[in-house]
Amino acid sequence: MATPSLHDARLGRISSDAFVFLAESGLLENPGQYELCDGHLIEKPTQGFRHQFACEALEEVLLQGMPVPLKGRANPSVRISNKAVLDPDFAILSRSTAELGRMPTAGDVVVVFEVGDSTIGYDREDKRLAYASSGIPIYWLLDMTQSRLIVHSEPKDGDYGLVTTYGPEEEVELPILGKRLKVGTFFPPS
């Protein structure tokens, strides 16, 4: 099955409430294969080696020394808005899902991380705008196609005001962890 485009009008639009209902009631077959962006169901592709490598590296590095009460989660479903339920590759939440007692929302997300390989256009455009519009303070995009990290911050008026790009030889600071991270750690050896 081809991955639906955000602009495929044949799919129509649904709300995040309807999407969650369909997923939780079993009416949506294999709900983990989909996310909702701008009211459209988007089928998630199978993760290739480079994507899996980056996700494992993110998880390993980010979970070390995570300050309390912050919680790091791989692939959490996050209700971004009334038109979006996204599954970022990794997120740092203000509290655990158990403590929240519900699905996390954009207001619970401190930093969101995406790994863009076959989905780089979707991650760079549609997801960036969804995260910024919902006020998520920091969005890290690992661009696997160009071996670079793009850090988005300062959300305002539906987009990020500050965008900084780092190469694999550079280090980047993630202030909430209080440490500098080598960007090349997230990319497999050539």
Domains and CATH numbers, the chain: 47-186 (3.90.1570.10)
C-alpha distance across the termini of the chain, in Å: 31
Average pLDDT over every residue of 128-140: 98
What pTM did the predictor assign?
0.88
Range scoring the smallest mean pLDDT among 33-42, 91-100, 138-147: 33-42
d(C-alpha 181, C-alpha 62), whole Å: 9
Q: pLDDT per residue over 3-34, tens digit each?
A: 444 444 445 688 898 888 888 888 888 878 88
Percent of the chain at pLDDT exceeding 90:
66
pLDDT on residue 159: 98
pLDDT band at 61 (very low <50, low <70, confident <90, very high): very high
Nearest to 142 by CA among 165, 163, 171, 125: 165
CB neighbours (10 Å) of residue 10? 6
